[in-house]
């Protein structure tokens, strides 16, 4: 972009620590806001006029705004700077093999914006040159094939909306309520519109030998992260995608190519996909033996627990979004299931004694986040707010007590239990578990 000679080169430090150049006019506007006693990065930069003052023209109404391509790509309003992916610094040894959480408390729909989609890397985020990236399909196929990104883009396109959830989402709450936050208790789920080619189309193009029963899928990252998948699932609904919400995948989501395995645990949705090999048996890679297996109280472990069972959570109110006095509210939340579609969500405000069925908002899509709401007149007394999803297979979201009865509390993965938020009479909200 050409520099605008009408603008000075003032530089401000934004709340995330990056220096951002600002024009003189916006600098003055910021100054006006700041002297009004409001900090950048708060929920509102709009100064509340006193009740006596007449409606006034706000400063931004008395000037001309920035022109087009002022921000050629675009970015959220500066006052939304707190709405970012966040990590738990004490959780992992390094940031390269770690996870970040989506700010569900500030999201209002079923689609996660690309910059807010949760991250999970095993060897950091590679920055890949798409001109050099290739996908190799070999093993028990008729014609081993090497595909460039150009080749892959020529295949017939498919677009679908699906959630991806890390099976460790909620893992920190297996033993007890630990994370007092919606973002950190549930933020390892996100949902996007994915565009690419059906994996079945690619495998039909190579031809599948009749002995083939499994596929090994592998990434181009430093860990060459790999998993085994049953061939039936590959041919059923898996996608090899290059686009997310209409634009190229973000590097942290697998640019230029990733696998989407609808409804199955996030780890098998291999990012930076470079290789698919068909075989007769599973590989039992480190990520499906040492990790992503569920340790039971009797010392046995469950492997190949790919399915993400039905789960729901109330996103308002939540610890980050308390209530502001008694009155009428809309309880809001998200539900999803690896079994297909959400058929019903019930909400309780008394700790599960009584339940009311919430309204599901269209679109209700298979293996996608589904939004629900329920009006609630809060009387200002302590409440225990929870949601419970039922999916099209008839599966009912369990309580944490029911899960622990079956699996103890050391299984790390697949905690899809009902989340209870404790609302205190001052409107503050806490993550609790019930006896």
- Restricted to residues 64-83, the positions that interact with other proteins (CB under 8 A) are 82
Query: What distance in Å separates the CA atoms of residue 413 and residue 99, rounded to the nearest whole number?
Result: 14
DSSP string, 94-119: -SSSEEEB--GGG--SSSPPGGGS-E
State the nearest-atom distance from the C-beta of 41 to other proteins, in Å: 6
Q: Rule CB under 8 A: is residue 12 a binding residue for other proteins? A: no
Q: Rule CB under 8 A: is residue 352 a binding residue for other proteins? A: yes
Among positions 30-49, residues that touch other proteins (CB under 8 A) are 41
In the structure encoding, which two tokens stand for residue 314, read together? 């109330």
The continuous run of DSSP H or E covering 31 comes out as helix 24-35
Q: Rule CB under 8 A: is residue 55 a binding residue for other proteins? A: no
State the nearest-atom distance from the C-beta of 419 to other proteins, in Å: 11
Q: Rule CB under 8 A: is residue 165 a binding residue for other proteins? A: no
In the structure encoding, which two tokens stand for residue 106, read together? 């500030």
**Which residue lies nearer to other proteins by CB, 178 or 245?**
178
Contact in structure between 261 and 238 (CB atoms under 8 Å): yes
In the structure encoding, which two tokens stand for residue 215, read together? 């596929």
Q: Please, what is the end-to-end C-alpha distance for the chain in angstroms?
A: 60
Q: Rule CB under 8 A: is residue 410 a binding residue for other proteins? A: yes
**Which residue lies nearer to other proteins by CB, 226 or 244?**
226
**Which residue lies nearer to other proteins by CB, 254 or 338?**
338
**Which residue lies nearer to other proteins by CB, 59 or 113?**
113
Query: What distance in Å separates the CA atoms of residue 269 and residue 110, rounded to the nearest whole number?
Result: 19
Among positions 374-403, residues that touch other proteins (CB under 8 A) are 384, 388, 390, 393, 395-399, 402-403
Q: Which of 290, 328, 362, 381 binds other proteins (CB under 8 A)?
A: 290
Query: What distance in Å separates the CA atoms of residue 330 and residue 314, rounded to the nearest whole number?
Result: 11
Handedness of CA 51, 57, 60, 61 (dihedral sign): positive
**Which residue lies nearer to other proteins by CB, 6 or 93?**
93
Span from 59-67, 111-119, 177-185, 245-253 in contact with other proteins (CB under 8 A) = 177-185
- Binding to other proteins by CB under 8 A, coded x per residue (else -) over 82-111, reads x-x-xxxxx-xxx-xx-----x-x------
Q: Rule CB under 8 A: is residue 147 a binding residue for other proteins? A: yes
Q: Rule CB under 8 A: is residue 245 a binding residue for other proteins? A: no
Q: Rule CB under 8 A: is residue 344 a binding residue for other proteins? A: yes
Q: Rule CB under 8 A: is residue 322 a binding residue for other proteins? A: no
Beta strands in 273-419 (DSSP E): 273-279, 294-295, 301-302, 311-316, 327-336, 342-348, 356-357, 359-361, 370-378, 383-391
Strand-pairing partners, residue 342, are 391
Q: Which of 48, 57, 129, 232 binds other proteins (CB under 8 A)?
A: 232
Q: Rule CB under 8 A: is residue 222 a binding residue for other proteins? A: yes
Q: Rule CB under 8 A: is residue 309 a binding residue for other proteins? A: yes
The continuous run of DSSP H or E covering 191 comes out as strand 189-198
Query: What distance in Å separates the CA atoms of residue 120 and residue 404, rounded to the nearest whole number?
Result: 26
Among positions 178-207, residues that touch other proteins (CB under 8 A) are 178-181, 183-184, 200-201, 204-207
**Which residue lies nearer to other proteins by CB, 154 or 361?**
154
**Which residue lies nearer to other proteins by CB, 249 or 391?**
391
What is the number of alpha carbons within 13 Å of residue 320 lying toward its C-beta? Answer: 19
Binding residues for other proteins, total number by CB under 8 A: 126
Q: What is the DSSP letter of 208?
A: B
**Which residue lies nearer to other proteins by CB, 96 or 193?**
96
Q: Rule CB under 8 A: is residue 158 a binding residue for other proteins? A: no
DSSP string, 235-256: HHT-EEEEEETTEEPPGGGTTT
**Which residue lies nearer to other proteins by CB, 6 or 384?**
384
Query: What distance in Å separates the CA atoms of residue 179 and residue 185, rounded to the nearest whole number?
Result: 6
């Amino acid at each position: 972009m050409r520099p605008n000679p009408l603008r000075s080169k003032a530089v401000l430090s934004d709340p995330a620590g990056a220096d951002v150049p600002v024009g003189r006019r916006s600098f003055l506007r910021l100054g006006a806001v700041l002297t009004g006693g409001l900090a950048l990065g708060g929920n509102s930069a709009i100064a509340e006029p006193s009740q006596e003052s007449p409606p006034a023209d706000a400063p931004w109404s008395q000037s001309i705004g920035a022109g087009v391509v002022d921000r050629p790509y675009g970015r959220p309003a500066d006052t939304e700077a707190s709405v970012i992916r966040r990590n738990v610094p004490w959780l992992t040894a390094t940031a390269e093999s770690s996870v970040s959480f989506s700010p569900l408390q500030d999201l209002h729909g079923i689609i996660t914006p690309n910059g807010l989609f949760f991250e999970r890397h095993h060897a950091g985020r590679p920055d890949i040159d798409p001109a050099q990236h290739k996908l190799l399909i070999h093993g028990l196929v008729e014609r081993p094939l090497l595909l460039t990104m150009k080749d892959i883009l020529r295949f017939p396109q498919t677009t679908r909306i699906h959630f991806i959830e890390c099976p460790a989402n909620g893992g920190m709450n297996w033993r007890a309520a630990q994370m007092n936050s919606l973002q950190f208790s549930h933020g390892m789920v996100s949902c996007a519109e994915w565009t690419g080619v059906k994996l079945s189309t690619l495998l039909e193009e190579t031809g599948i030998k009749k002995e083939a029963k499994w596929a090994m899928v592998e990434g181009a990252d430093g860990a060459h992260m790999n998993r085994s998948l049953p061939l039936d699932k590959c041919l059923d609904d898996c996608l090899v995608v290059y686009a997310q919400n209409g634009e190229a995948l973000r590097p942290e989501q697998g640019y230029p190519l990733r696998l989407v395995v609808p409804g199955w645990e996030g780890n098998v949705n291999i990012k930076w996909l470079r290789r698919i090999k068909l075989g007769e048996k599973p590989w039992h890679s480190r990520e499906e033996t040492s990790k992503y297996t569920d340790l039971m109280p009797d010392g046995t472990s469950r492997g190949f627990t790919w399915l993400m069972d039905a789960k729901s959570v109330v996103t308002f109110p939540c610890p980050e979004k308390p209530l502001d006095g008694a009155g009428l509210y809309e309880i809001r939340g998200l539900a999803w299931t690896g079994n297909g579609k959400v058929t019903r969500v019930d909400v309780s405000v008394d700790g599960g004694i009584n339940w009311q069925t919430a309204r599901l908002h269209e679109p209700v899509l298979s293996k996608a986040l589904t939004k629900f709401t329920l009006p609630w007149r809060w009387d200002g007394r302590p409440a225990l707010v929870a949601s419970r999803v039922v999916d099209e297979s008839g599966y009912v979201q369990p309580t944490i007590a029911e899960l622990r009865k079956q699996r103890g509390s050391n299984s790390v993965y697949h905690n899809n239990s009902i989340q209870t938020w404790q609302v205190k009479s001052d409107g503050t909200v806490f993550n609790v578990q019930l006896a």
